[in-house]
Structure 1
């Protein structure tokens, strides 16, 4: 065949080849999205089980402030580690950090299984879990954000997050049963098995896109993201503070109030968060991020305030539903908002900063609210957390109104 014939054949076959390549890429992306979601499920099935760790610390004679320090050491580690993890994930690839995170989580869970006295090992193992979270979560979330167009980013992040939200209900509920029937050691070993499943699942990811070398240099040149992502960072800080107040101290608060089981709270929280993501997942893509963030803040503030009075089985269901709805709306909108504002080559770094802000709020809640609860009681910490969220809501409303007036 002459050169002209080859050229004509290439022209005729070009669209078909491109269509096939596009179909193959879509198949790989769908497969990777499924694998990323499944590995996310196993990882958080292990990690969210440790919301029951305060009960074990209490069993060993620990105080509220010790609970705060042990639980907060995890958040503090992730605060320091996530910006670095985000930049290094941009440099070395997502999959390596998925494997590092799942392996670290498995080792930490095994370590807790052999810890029968409250000592420095608890802090060390929580630090290891902080490293696990920093490595795994930022790499996985960045990976998912790169699979979809910006017009569906909020929806994709929301659907992906369902795999983790399910474990908020399942892990504590199943964990309580394991503890009551087989003890804490079996509980920690079960968490280690879930982390091992995450490790094996992550190995199945394939054909991941590489980061351009220019992006690598940019990612390592500075761990500090662009100033334009400051708004979602500050909102993530407030969200983390309120969530930390709820999740860190609720188990011991409920026990003090005479409730032996709190699994209903986690089920309500998870069901509400999943339900609102399935039904309203595209709202931030269609209406804009801030139009979804505002009502989500109102829900979070209301749910947190409810813990001042609603300490009963039915009350916990109400609080779990309100705060779960807030999470289901707020987290995908804030994540997508952060990615929207970030440079394309620094998404890992930007998401690292976003998640760091959330955990900083969580750590502040653990350390400061633990001391306040020990001296003045639990109700005051939930009143303070709600006040902070409601104040943020009002400031954001006022800022938004001023911006619209200036247009």
Structure 2
């Protein structure tokens, strides 16, 4: 396979700390971004899995456990994946993750009831996803210069959000016209094409190298770094709010007698535009500034949902939420990528992505409890208030724009 120049290669270790993507809109990074879209399309198609489980006769409680096992496996294995990235390198861990996702997806074809085999497949699927996330996010953190990480993570976020917006409705069409097996084969094809995208991009370990000479990944320095911990708290709150929006908007829309599709379309459209266009601006003026600008937009959008969702005024909270998510996602990612030395970045990005995924779990559980003890309108008031809490953290905490090279 043709080798790309050092400045454009996806292998961050060939040239040491100076090897970075020259441009985001060149072939290597675009293919890496495509792999994000394809892997997340695989995951997003399984947002419809509760429908399949219901057809198997699963109770709502059982459905919750089945869906939750994937997320639990993802979060609990993330620290291990960070260590694997440090010892083996980003590329092998990414490859392992995609292959495991592919095998797990094929495994769904042989499941006909809720039992131990199904839970095992969910766990394996989550482990593969965890490996891909750890390897790929660490790769972007190390192979992209700090001056371009806002743009890079903006493009990554656009790919991820695009998959989340497109895959579920496509999955509904596939199930309606071809049945559940077609859904599984399509998800498997996404994983297979992700392998091809990574291969064509040139993601492979350098000859004779095992990671950073088998360097040991340590999480303790990060836990001693107060600015990093404040950034993680902000990340957790943001993910919690995002999870609530994704999981409960359909319910409050149904209660008000309207569909949720129009809101999601506007929100994702605005978010993707922001992700693709604001990255360079963020790199120029600072990621922390954009955290401060985006949280008010996101908080106000969440607070307006109960009163605006039933009329044409839904456009205002939809636009505000989309702009907020489109700015908060790359800003948090790029700030996290700036912490630590080259050797510490696998730990930093594994820790960050684990916290982000944890926010999606706590968002669903905590928000479900709030909706039950209060109501859906009250839930979005509480969620908007949590976003205000995120704003207070980024305003008054010691989160740094450029992290110290040796935290702790």
| Cα distance between partner residues in 2 of 1:110 and 1:116 | 13
Decide whether the 8 Å contact of 1:54 with 1:252 is kept in 2: no
CA gap 1:272/1:206 in 2 versus in 1, 3 angstroms: same
Compared CA separation, residues 177 and 252, structure 1 to 2 (3 A): farther
Displacement of 1:313: 8.2
Q: Which residue of 2 aligns with 1:172?
A: 168
Shift of 1:45: 1.2
2:238 aligned with 1:234: no
Change (3 A) 1:119 1:311: farther
Higher helix share: 1
> Alignment partner of 1:341: what SS?
coil
The Cα offsets for residues 59-82 of structure 1, whole Å up to 9 and x where unpaired, read as: 556566555433333222222111
String of CA shifts for 1:186-227, please: whole Å, max 9, x gaps.
Answer: 2233222211211232233437576887674331x5576353
Shift of residue 185 of structure 1? 3.3
Partner of 1:24: 5
Please identify, of 79-88 and 56-65, the stretch whose mean Cα deviation from structure 2 is larger: 56-65
Unaligned runs of at least 5 residues, structure 1: 1-22, 402-407
Pick from 29, 41, 46 the counterpart of residue 33 of structure 1.
Answer: 29
Q: Distance in 2 between matches of 1:374 and 1:115?
A: 33
* Superposed CA offset, 1:120-158 (max 9, x none): 555444323321221112211222232322111211221
Aligned-pair CA distance for 1:55? 4.3
Measured in 2, the distance between the counterparts of 1:264 and 1:167 equals: 17
Matched, 1:274 2:272: yes
2:98 to 99, 102, 106: 102
- Note the 1:308-387 alignment, pairs <5 A: 308-312=306-310, 318-374=316-372, 376-387=374-385
In structure 2, do the counterparts of structure 1 residues 296 and 75 end up closer, same or farther at CA, with 3 Å as the change threshold?
Answer: farther
Q: From the superposition, tell whether residues 212 and 122 of structure 1 become closer, same or farther in structure 2 (CA, over 3 Å).
A: closer
Corresponding position of 2:13 = none
Alignment map for 1:72-83 (pairs within 5 Å): 72-83=68-79
Task: Report how far residue 355 of structure 1 moved.
Answer: 0.7
Alignment CA distance shift 1:207-1:62 (3 Å): closer
Rg larger for: 1
Between stretches 314-323 and 27-36, larger displacement belongs to 314-323
Give the conservation status (yes or no) of the 8 Å contact 2:134–2:346.
yes
- Superposed CA RMSD in Å reads 3.2
Distance 1:129 1:268, change over 3 A: farther
Quote the Cα distance in structure 2 between the aligned partners of 1:280 and 1:332: 9
How many residues matched? 378
Aligned equivalent of 2:222: 225
**Does structure 2 conserve the Cα–Cα contact (< 8 Å) formed by 1:373 and 1:380?**
yes
Alpha-carbon distance in 1 for matches of 2:379, 2:213? 43
**Mapped partners of 1:364, 1:328: distance in 2:** 21
